[in-house]
Copies of this chain bind each other. A is one copy, B any other.
Amino acid sequence: MSEHPPFAVTVDLAIFTIRNGALSVLLVERGEDPYAGRWALPGGFVGPDEDAEAAAWRELAEETGVSRAEAGEWGHLEQLRTYSAPDRDPRMRVVSVAHVAFAPDLPEPTAGSDATQARWWAVQDVVGEDADAPRLAFDHAEILADALERVRSKLEYTTLALQFVDEPFTLPELHRVYAAVWGEAPDLGNFRRKVLKTPGFVSPTDEKADADAAGGPRPLLYRRGPGRTLQPAMLRPGGDA
């Protein structure tokens, strides 16, 4: 079976967070060809002694500038799918195991060791057709589109939204996560009912958030509950469109 050609195996990551109320994704600017100057999803090669998920955790920690142990505290990472078109990288045959990661608001990333820059992009500015929208390298536009669909649908039937907020959090904050990811806000009253009656979604504290300059009552603070799935699912408004 040595007549089979060798492949390089990489991981690519779509790392999502909420910044300024907008769903955002981390991109790095490529410093070298192919696609020099274009923006790309962060990623790297899978090492000889790690599986793809371990490589993805390692890259996540490197790119966000936090230690891997810390990343394990707040982060959620899962495999998305594998991209293997023969010509997806002109240099060699590369198969990429793409992953999706979710994190609460993180600091602006530090530049990578290869002197390229990395920054958060509002997803809407990347997937849009605007003239100033960056054209992504390789097949990363397709990967990002798949990742976006994944995060949107996982909000429906899991408690994944909890990964986008720091503890403790308020229900209006959690509501804004749904609004940012779906692009449309569910009715706040019905949202509260759904979250509070789903066992294990959130657990209340008896504290209230600090006052907000905008006025209004101080909302109650909650912590993440142990539940992981929503039964039945939370429906996104206009979800059939």
Contacts and interface: CB of A to CB of B under 8 A. Distances in A.
23 contacts: A1-B45, A4-B8, A6-B7, A6-B8, A7-B8, A7-B9, A7-B95, A9-B95, A46-B95, A48-B86, A52-B82, A52-B95, A79-B81, A79-B82, A81-B81, A81-B82, A82-B82, A82-B97, A95-B95, A95-B97, A232-B232, A232-B235, A233-B233
A97 B84 contact: yes
Interface residues on A, range: 20 to 34
A134 B49 CA distance: 30
A240 interface: yes
Contact of A86 (B7, B45, B49, B239): B49
A71 B127 CA distance: 35
B5 A51 contact: no
Contacts of A231: 239-240
A50 interface: yes
Nearest to A231: B240
A85 interface: yes
Interface in A18-51: 45-46, 48-51
A206 to B, nearest CB: 30
Interface string A57-83: 000000000000000000000010110
A93 interface: yes
A27 to B, nearest CB: 21
